[in-house]
Each structure stands twice: as C-alpha cells, then as structure tokens.
Structure 1
Amino acid sequence: MIVRDRPFSSYLSSHGGWKWGAFIKSFVVAFLIVLIFSALDVLINHQTVSFNNVKAFALVLGVIVIPFQCFSEELLFRGFVMQSLGSWIRIPVIPIVIQGAFFAYMHSYDISGLVGVLACGLIFGVVAWYFKGLEVSTAMHTSNNIIANLSSVFIVSSAADSMLWDSATMIAQMIIIFAVIYWLDKKFGWFE
C-alpha cells in the first residue's frame, strides 16, 4: 500500500537493479577523495599516525561490516523513506529534506556533528535522486565511513580536534565527490 506493490530492485535503482559498475567506479573516486582529505587533515592539524595501536577487530569492522551498514542506511533512508514519500509528493526537495532530517535524527552527535550528518543526508538524497539509484550515494557513504573508521584506528587525534571542523570537511568532501562523479558521468558517460 505504501509503495504500490513495487519490486525490491526498484528501491535500489530505477535502472532495473543494482549497477555494480556505477558503484565500484563511484567508490574508487569517493575513497580517493576522502583519503586525500584525511591525509591533509593529518598534515594540517599535526596529528600523529600510529601503527602500534592497530586493533584487528576495528580493521575487520571497517572493511567488512561498514559497507553493509552503509548500504542498509541508504536502502532505508534514500530507498524506502525518500522514494515512498516521493511516490506521494511530486516535489523532490520535500522527500529529500524529510529523509535527510530523519537520517540526522538517527545519529547521536553534538549539534555541529548533527549539522554535518544532516548535510550529508541531504547530499546523499540529491545524489540518489539525480543518478536515479543508490549506487553513488552508497559509494560516497561507504568510503566516508570506512576512512573515518580507519582514521580512528590509525590516527591519534589532538585535543584541538573539533566536530565542527570534521563536519565542514565532510560536507566539502561530499560536494567535491558529487561534482567529480557528475563531471565524469557527463564527460565519459559513466552511467549510460
């Protein structure tokens, strides 16, 4: 009733199922951009990279579990919530804003962290809407969370770290990733 008897694959993509090529290409681009930002953050904020405190469990979590967690969030917020609302409300910005707010609500951060998560939820919503599927938003989300996890394992943060700085750089990363993937799609027809 909510989604008018739609097949499950329609939540993933309007292209008739998951497009692995789009996901993998987008993931590589997103991962490299987030990695560059993280490296710059280490250099700018004079953070220490420590290989002595590596926890095997956290590495396994970062490589294996996080992609499933990100995919699940994308499926819930951009797949189910946004698309269900979009089937009732024909103005795309309204479901994008609602799912973004719901996405932020489900995360427990301070106000500056929530602003960053809200902005990412909105960006992921625009990306899923623009590319007509979850592949690119899932790639962006997964790359961000994997690098964040690996950073928490390898990087000894300084006391000067701030959630506001982290949120601002995360928003900038997501905008740059979207712009680069958009350009690559227009230039080379990545998603045709």
Structure 2
Amino acid sequence: MFIEQVYKYQHDFWRYLIGVIAVVFGIIIGQIPLTIVLLKEAGFEVMNMTETDMMQALDSNLFLFLMLLTYAVGLGFLFFIVKKLHEQPLIALTTSRKKIDWSRFWFAFGLVAIFIILTTVGDYISNPDDFLWNFKLKPFLILLVISVVLIPVQTSFEEYFFRGYLMQGIGVMVKNRWVPLVVSSVIFGGLHFFNPEVTKLGNTIMIYYIGTGFMLGIMALMDEGLELSLGFHAANNLLTALIVTADWTAFQTHSILKDVSEPSAGWDVLIPVLVVYPIYLIIFAKKYHWNNWKERLFGKAERPELLNVSEES
C-alpha cells in the first residue's frame, strides 16, 4: 500500500530529517534568480517588500516564471533525496501500483477543469460587472507557455512533498495513517498563511487551504497513490492562472478575465470545503470503487508482514 511500501526502502527518521532540510535548501537556492532580478529592479528595498509588492515590481509573466522556477529546483532536490538517500524509486513515491496510472491523473484533471470553466462562465454571465476583460494575445501566449510547462511542476512538488514524502515518512514513524494525514494537511494549509489572499480576506481563508490539504490527502490514502491529487492540483492552479486573476491573489497573471469584485471570506470559503470537495470524493469513490474508508484513513501503517500476521490471527 502507499505508505506501507516505504518499509522496503531506507526510512530512518534521520534520513527524513535530512531530506526535509535538503528540500528547504533547494527552495532557497531556487529563489536566487528571483532575488537577483528583484534586487536589480528595486535594490535593497526588496528586503521590506511583501509578495504583492514583488509581483507589482516585475512583469507578471516574468515574476510567475521566476516564482515557479523555485519549485522546479525544489522538486529536483526532492527527487534526488528520495533516490539517493532513501534508495526509493520515484514510482514508490507516486503510487502503490506497479506503474503510474495516468488515466487517473487525466480524469481528475478533466473533472476539475470542466468544473472551473463552467463555474467561471456562470459567474461571468450572472455578475458581468465583477469582471474586466483582461485578454491581450501576446502576454497571454507567453503566460500559456509558462503555465503549461511550470505550473504542473509547482503542483507536483507540493503533492510529492506533502502527500508523498511527508505522508509516507510520518506514516512509517507513527505506524498509522491518520496522523500523517492531519500533519501534512495542516502544514500544507499553514504555509499558505503568507499568501496575499490571507491579507485580503483574513484568517478565515485558512479553512479553505487546510480543507484542501485534507481532501488531497484523503484522495491519496483512499486511492493508494498520488495520481488523482496530481491531476486535481495541476488543473486547479493551471486553469486559475489562465482564466481569472485579481489584484489580491497569489497568481496575478495576464489571464483572460480580471476579477474586480470585493471579495469576502464567507460562504465562498465554506462551500468548496463542505459541498464541492465531498462531491469530488463521492465521484472518485464511485469510479474507483473505494471501500473500507475507516481502515484506509485511520488504520495502521505497519510492515506488510506484520499486517498479514495480524489479519491471520
């Protein structure tokens, strides 16, 4: 199974500690190009800049490219650590299946893409005054290339690190499934605390980020792999970057539309977590015949031979 298979590889606590430090170091290394460009444009004032200030100091396409480059470097460090320090193949970080099931990735990607497109079109038709037409061909084509190439890298880093590396590492340490689900989800959501959306909407938006972490973690545990969460996350960020931007979001892009409405952290935060996400989980559960939810989410994560002995007794 997705967590239990890690027992076949090098899974000592100190290896995961070094691994996390190495990945954080990789992220810092990846930020060097962005820092150099910002220093050139804004001098040492960059030290006092918020993320919004940084985005406004550069062309949005350039900022997006440099920001996403950070995750590409981080992903490279993560894959290196997994292969060399843990002697674990990439497929074992991705799935418990014998090979990566790309049909799962594309199903999740398509489902989320269709939902985002339909809801955005519906919102635009219902509230046209909330949007400005932001489309400019050349900047949009550059955005399209950057987004298609690098946004899946960014989302893959987050999935492989939080739902893969941390979930597997914590799972074999505590020998259960619910603790890695909770810890990885809270850390994932908590790291979004510094996003511009939190400044604009307040701490209530953290319900959405942490709730998203829980949903992606549940998908990984129930499906015994990352394929669904990889597709879900890639579609969400990619379509968001291409279709709608706003002055207060983490992705300020040359998108098709610009949202100029005054946002609020009310039902807009709760509906995705309490209504939309459960619907996604029901769809995935029906399609992939998920069962035994209690065991998969709250069961033990012991060595496979120990699990077999326990089942026989």
- Structure 1 length as normaliser, TM-score? 0.84
Q: Which moved more, 1:50-59 or 1:27-36?
A: 50-59
- Greater RCO (Cα-Cα under 8 Å, separation 6 or more): 1
Secondary structure, aligned partner of 1:106: helix
Instruction: Assess if the C-alpha contact under 8 Å between 2:164 and 2:226 holds in 1.
Output: yes
Residues 106-151 of structure 1: CA deviation (Å, up to 9, x unaligned): 2223113322111100110000000000000111111111121121
Runs of 5+ unmatched residues, structure 2: 1-11, 17-85, 246-254, 291-313
**Counterpart position of 1:154:** 256
Give the counterpart of 2:226 among 125, 129, 134: 134
Residues 52-91 of structure 1: CA deviation (Å, up to 9, x unaligned): 3453333323322111111111000000001111112233
Residues 150-188 of structure 1: CA deviation (Å, up to 9, x unaligned): 21212221332235454335434433222222222239x
Number of equivalenced pairs: 187
Q: Distance in 2 between matches of 1:68 and 1:166?
A: 28
Alignment of 1:57-96 (within 5 A): 57-96=142-181
Instruction: Assess if the C-alpha contact under 8 Å between 1:30 and 1:140 holds in 2.
Output: yes
Alignment of 1:1-192 (within 5 A): 1-2=12-13, 5-46=87-128, 47-48=130-131, 50-53=133-136, 55-56=139-140, 57-107=142-192, 108-109=194-195, 110=198, 111-150=203-242, 151-152=244-245, 153-171=255-273, 172-186=275-289
Secondary structure, aligned partner of 2:183: helix
Q: Distance in 2 between matches of 1:159 and 1:38?
A: 14
C-alpha change, 1:61 and 1:20, in structure 2 (3 Å) is same
- Structure 2 length as normaliser, TM-score? 0.54
- Give 1:49 shift: 5.3
- Give the superposed CA RMSD: 2.4
Instruction: Assess if the C-alpha contact under 8 Å between 1:13 and 1:133 holds in 2.
Output: yes
Percent identity at matched positions? Answer: 21
Instruction: Assess if the C-alpha contact under 8 Å between 1:34 and 1:173 holds in 2.
Output: no
Task: Decide which structure has the larger Cα Rg and report it.
Answer: 2
- Give 1:45 shift: 3.8
